[in-house]
A and B are shown apart, each in its own frame.
Chain A
């Protein structure tokens, strides 16, 4: 079992190296990158915006409802919303949601190409199929921090609207809370995590799709396994990066 996991990890790193070998012609790659930006980034904005806005609102309401002690200032609602959204919700939990959305799309599309011999066709033509299929996804996901930036903004906006229009606090109190003890490095930390998660989101699902064997049923299974492993690695990397950057 352990040997199998180690061999899979080794295979993953060999794949990463292979992605950067023998690049595809730039005129073709450019189009592939635009397509991936459309599929992976633009296609995810709606769901990210929706989830972020409402989860921000819920965080704000939950915090407000738990502030029963009159000695605790109402500014804490804005403060808690900001910290939850910026530090964890936007970078980590949106990434896990994206492991489901983008990840299963990547695994199933590459997996289907594997079972229908499209990847063999690329290889026989002399195309580095890993570079052709995975590299544009990695480049497209360089824009992933913008998605997370949007998620942070909409999360805090949702929190502000829920708190102010729900009558839990006033707008100046919420904004004061947002500005309280603001540490700019927290934003840097969140975006460092986001960049690492972007690489994981592009490569782990690709690995599961590229090396899958079997037919249509196995494509479905590979998508599920890919989601599980992407989530597990995101959570582990979240822990490691938090220890390294914040402890």
Chain B
């Protein structure tokens, strides 16, 4: 579980996060949504420790990040898996080497054990015939699968995904969403996803955090988002005619 208490982050004169507090539970897919410039990326990067908040605390199962020593932070980072927007796979390595990298760096496993674990996660993310290929030789969807495999290979307690569906076709996007949700539930991971994709919100949003102008405007589940009368949320989520109709049908069914 990740608990965020009143975090504020400024860049010069500009305050990007103005006191955000929330809680992300384990075994759930937690989504952060909001318009461009709402502070989503800064929020995610603050959770990851890439940005240091000016005030407030972020605790990982009771461990307050700002109070940890460098060694403890390093230890904590080995419990984190991250799927970047552009996958961020290492160009100079094969798919197999990319996935095995965290194990090679942080575990005392033998090459044989690493190979076995890599093969297991490759199967888990349904990657076929890609072991020896380089990232440039595989499709965007496969790259995302490799990124997810690399993020989970070390059995992380926390999984962060930045726009995991960007650049993917709708079918592949749903497959990736479902894969993340399955893995989250299977391994009881605290998963936090930064997304713009409303399909993901509807499909896997067990907890949704909506940010607006650096403030937490609304939070709830994908069921509750249909019923909310928060204008900022409805303006953002139901901006397309299609989603307006979907909402209308859902509310009618619910009656």
Contacts and interface: CB of A to CB of B under 8 A. Distances in A.
Interface in A86-115: 112-113
Contacts, number: 54
Nearest to B70: A22
B225 interface: no
A18 interface: no
Nearest to A121: B88
A118 B88 contact: yes
A73 to B, nearest CB: 55
B78 A118 contact: no
Chain B contact-residue range equals 20 to 34
A126 B77 contact: yes
Interface stretch (B32-40, B79-87, B234-242): B79-87
Given A123-B50, A124-B50, A126-B106, A116 B86 contact: yes
Interface residues of A, number: 18
Interface string B42-76: 00000011100000000000000000000001111
Contact of A124 (B80, B85, B105): B80
Contacts of B231: none
A191 to B, nearest CB: 32
A113 B88 CA distance: 8
A116 B90 CA distance: 9
A117 B104 contact: no
B85 A117 contact: yes
Nearest to A25: B105
B43 to A, nearest CB: 15
B77 A125 contact: yes
Interface string A118-136: 1011011111000000000
Contacts of B220: none
A110 B167 CA distance: 24
Given A112-B91, A124-B50, A117 B105 contact: no
A85 B80 CA distance: 54
B102 interface: yes
Interface in B104-130: 104-106
Residue from the set B76, B86, B160 with the largest chain A CB neighbour count within 10 Å: B86
Contacts of A126: 73-78, 80, 106
A28 B88 contact: no
11 contacts: A24-B105, A112-B91, A113-B90, A116-B86, A117-B85, A118-B89, A124-B49, A124-B160, A125-B105, A126-B80, A126-B106
Interface of A: 22, 24-25, 27-28, 35, 112-113, 116-118, 120-121, 123-127
Interface of B: 48-50, 73-78, 80, 82, 84-86, 88-92, 101-102, 104-106, 160
